[in-house]
Amino acid sequence: MADGNGKHKTYATNFYKTDIDNVSFLGNPHIDNIATTLMAMGNELWTNRKRIHVLESVMRDKGVTADLIEQYEPTDEERARWAKEREVLVERLYSHFARVDEYEFSSEWKDK
């Protein structure tokens, strides 16, 4: 996929992949995965907080109150779209737990 769809002029070469997908730092790959997930959740948390801050600022300028937010009922289209987004979020957060060694070690690291 990363080589594109054949419609465009490309310049990318082959390359030597790191061994990052095979590495465990914390004694057990699943502990690594949990820590990775926690880091990803931090990112997600901030991303959403930032969006809420932006929304609150925009709405305040437009005269929308917090009570209107609390009372809001999503449309069917919104429910479906938000459900799809949650699926993506779940994949982002929890796909690490499904990590398996996809690649052979590709670098000759002598020190570990």
Q: Minimum distance between the CB of residue 42 and other proteins, rounded to whole angstroms?
A: 7
Residue whose CB is less far from other proteins, 19 or 67: 19
Q: At what angle do helices 76-94 and 29-62 cross, to 10 degrees?
A: 150
Residue ranges in 17-36 that form contacts with other proteins under rule CB under 8 A: 17-18, 20, 23, 25-27, 32, 35-36
The rounded distance, in Å, linking the Cα atoms of 21 and 29 is 10
63 binds other proteins (CB under 8 A): no
Number of residues in contact with other proteins under rule CB under 8 A:
42
- Within 37-56, the residues that bind other proteins by CB under 8 A are 39-40, 42-43, 46-47, 50-51, 54
Long-range CB contacts (within 8 A, 24+) of 103-110: 103/17, 103/19, 103/21, 103/22, 105/19, 105/22, 106/16, 106/17, 106/18, 106/19, 107/16, 107/18, 107/19, 109/19
Using CB under 8 A as the criterion, which residues of the chain lie in contact with other proteins when the complex forms? Answer: 1-5, 7-18, 20, 23, 25-27, 32, 35-36, 39-40, 42-43, 46-47, 50-51, 54, 103-104, 106-109, 111-112
